[in-house]
Amino acid sequence: MKTRKNKKEILQKALTALERTTGLGAEVYPEMKPEGLDAVILITLNDMELHFDAEVKYAITRPMIGTIVQQLKRNIKKGVIVTKYVTPQIADTLKELNVPFIDTAGNAYIHEPPLFVFMKGNKPVEVYQDKIPTRAFRPTGLQVIYALLCNQGLENAPFREIANTAAVALGTVGWVMQDLKQMGYLVDMGKRGRRLIQKGKLLARWVTTYPEQLRPKKLIGRYDAKDPDFWKYKDLPQDKAYWGGEVAAAKLNKYLKPEIVTIYTIEQAALNNWLIKNRIKKDPDGKIEILKTFWEAGQKRQYQNLVHPLLIYADLQATGDPRNIETAEMVYEQGLTQLIRED
């Protein structure tokens, strides 16, 4: 119950800070507690009362913003994010996306006419340590979860098959599956096999953890091309590399104009001749990023030259850019709703 206690402490400190910095009344409203929410808070100004469904987060990083926005839109009518500390940069992004927040340092954004509050730049009064992720949400564990989410029914396969699909050692699968059971994402039904549940929550957690834990380890390097629009008419080496991120989204729905070109490749050597042919050179500040794949090379693909929609979605969310987040929602609706459906 330590988790609930910690959330309660964050919530109370944030409400106290809001009262201190704005003069508003702010308290938990115990009579209302919809299922699945951390709390309902009541904010008062003179005779005006506003109720908000509160979602408490230990921290908000840029890769998390998109997922948080999506969760609020899908599950809460009038929500507010409560957290330990919001940086000025993230505060600006949340304001642009019209996502209310309050933190324990007294920073806040609330826009419910006639009430408007926007405060940023207050420093955290306490030093918080980031939570160490469980093993399942460390790099190799994330590869296993990705394989399970992308391949329906894979949880019932022999561990060796799961390991091959996720491109991890056989021993990794055992402890990841055990962790997923303990966290309530996997149910062992005996003779009826195993079942992955709460897939929506598992997907959301994977998307917010992937950019920090696994993605940096797969980055081969950054590059640049003389023609920034080369991706429009150049095909990647077949079965050797795949478009990801903004380019993959643009090819899917024609909505986004990419700024960053993301390519996932099975191996760098297989891509080198293509890079030379297209006059693409290494550049630490370049707008082309090349990453190594982290799944079985021969895996069947829904879109032959694109990564899986889950990875497109994660790449877009990781940028924290409002337009990319909007596009990510389209990818979610087009390619991921079926993925997380509970049968």
Rounded CA separation 205/209 (Å): 6
Residue with token string 């290494």: 282
- Mean pLDDT, rounded, for 41-65: 86
Same domain, 78 and 147: no
Where a domain ends, among 168, 183, 210? 210
pLDDT at 50: 87
pLDDT at 246: 96
Q: Cβ of 90: how many Cβ atoms within 10 Å? A: 22
Structural domain including 184 reads: 135-210
Same domain, 197 and 302: no
- Within a domain: residue 343? no
**What's the CA angle centered on 154, arms 151 and 155, to 5 degrees?**
130
Using DSSP bridges, classify how beta strands 101-103 and 39-45 pair: parallel, antiparallel or unpaired: unpaired
Non-local (6+) Cβ contacts of 137 within 8 A are 145, 205, 206, 209, 213
Structural domain count of the chain: 3
- Within a domain: residue 129? no
Same domain, 141 and 67: no
CATH number for 196: 1.10.10.10
Q: Is the pLDDT of residue 130 over 60?
A: no
Where a domain ends, among 192, 210, 228? 210
H/E stretch holding 247 reads helix 245-253
- High-pLDDT (> 90) share of the chain, %: 50
Where a domain ends, among 210, 235, 270? 210
Q: Is the pLDDT of residue 127 over 80?
A: no
pLDDT at 254: 82
**Cα R_g (the chain), whole angstroms:** 22
Rounded CA separation 19/22 (Å): 6
Q: Is the pLDDT of residue 244 over 90?
A: yes
Average the pLDDT over each of 23-27, 85-89, 115-119 and give the range with the smallest value. 23-27
139-150 helix and 159-166 helix, angle to the nearest 10 degrees: 100
Same domain, 220 and 332: yes
Residue with token string 């005006």: 48
Same domain, 112 and 55: yes
φ, ψ at 148 (rounded to 5°): -65, -40
245-253 helix and 309-319 helix, angle to the nearest 10 degrees: 120
Same domain, 195 and 220: no
pLDDT tens per residue, range 1-52: 445 658 888 999 999 999 988 888 888 876 555 566 788 888 988 888 888 8
Of 215 and 58, the structure prediction assigns the larger pLDDT to 215
Same domain, 222 and 293: yes
